[in-house]
Amino acid sequence: MLKFIISISSRFVPRHQLQRVAGFVLKIVGIFYRGNRFEDPITGKTYRKLLPYGRIQMRSNALAPDSMSLERHRLIWLYLKERTNFFTATNKVLHIAPEYCFIKRFAKLPNLDYVTADLNSPWAKVKLDVQNIPMADNEFDVILCNHVLEHVADDVLAMREMFRVMKPGGFGIFQVPLDSNLDVTLEDKTINTPALRELHYGQRDHRRLYGKDYSERLRKAGFIVTEDHYVNSIPSNLVNRYALPQNEAIYLCVKPY
């Protein structure tokens, strides 16, 4: 029954709304999932199994109950700790569509001037459209914007806006759903209904499905882009223990000086 409820709600309810009502319930559920097979590196809590999650295709052992982190969130957390100065340097951070599992933890870091922003999220401090960011040029050291660009009408404009407000030498992580079988991003204006978008793009509110040209789209906005297959450097036993996405590259975007 729990799996069915998660399947239906994750398909039709926006994630920020689902998180708003699910946080307390999942913390209780997490008590009954305690064990030692899986570990959420964000909280350090361990579980005998994780919750399933998926909008179209349900993934087992995907959602950590206490933090509500998914596979990609746990990978980003580890990447920020191991490959960047996010947790140590004095950084001004813009976090667009802030993920529930990160918000309170990032807000407590004394080295960060942490700004959350989104058009719909109830947790965002600033309401904004990523296609028209009401911030000054060269303002942020770090921008996090994950699983957002596939939702916006003009992703190229959004990329240029993030480039504009990033400081020279700053970096961003901009993850998107990506089909590595596609050489070119699938984007067709005739795919314009929720049913068609779900069929072709994988979700009812997506505007495109990115392909292997995603890095080039970011480069055209001005970024130096590294497709970092960081997960391949993590021992396989930890990939399994943390329930990480085994084929996901981190897209590290740097603004040149």
Question: What is the set of domains in the chain, with CATH numbers?
Answer: 2-69 (no CATH), 72-254 (3.40.50.150)
pLDDT at 178 over 70: yes
| pLDDT at residue 203, as a whole number | 93
CA distance 204 to 158: 20
| pLDDT at residue 55, as a whole number | 76
pTM above 0.85, yes or no: yes
pLDDT confidence band for 59 (50 / 70 / 90): very high
For residue 140, give the nearest of 119, 169, 105 by alpha carbon: 169
Residue pair 117/125 in contact (Cβ under 8 Å)? The answer is: yes
For 6-10, 112-116, 202-206, 217-221, which range has the lowest pLDDT when averaged over its residues?
6-10
pLDDT confidence band for 26 (50 / 70 / 90): confident
**Chain mean position to CA 33:** 24
Could you tell me the CA-to-CA distances from 34 to 65, 100, 245 in Å, in that order?
A: 10, 21, 22
**Chain mean position to CA 30:** 22
194 φ/ψ angles, rounded to the nearest 5 degrees: -55, -40
Q: Which residues pair with 116 in a beta bridge?
A: 95
pLDDT at 45 over 90: yes
For 45-49, 123-127, 213-217, which range has the lowest pLDDT when averaged over its residues?
123-127
What would the pLDDT profile of 101-122 be if each residue is shown by its tens digit? 999 999 999 999 999 999 988 8
Residue pair 75/231 in contact (Cβ under 8 Å)? The answer is: yes
pLDDT at 17 over 90: no
What is the DSSP secondary-structure string of 55-80? SSS-EEEEE-TTT---HHHHHHHHHH
pLDDT at 97 over 80: yes
pLDDT at 68 over 80: yes
Contacts of 235 (CB under 8 A, 6+ apart): none
When the pLDDT of each residue in the chain is averaged and rounded to a whole number, the result is 91
| pLDDT at residue 29, as a whole number | 80
17 versus 158: the higher-pLDDT residue is: 158
CA distance 114 to 106: 7
CA distance 32 to 28: 7
Give the whole-number percent of the chain exceeding pLDDT 90: 83
Q: Which residue has the tokens 């399947």?
A: 7
What would the pLDDT profile of 76-96 be if each residue is shown by its tens digit? 999 999 999 999 999 999 999
| pLDDT at residue 5, as a whole number | 45
For residue 172, give the nearest of 155, 159, 185, 184 by alpha carbon: 159
For 168, the token pair is 């020279």
pLDDT confidence band for 8 (50 / 70 / 90): very low
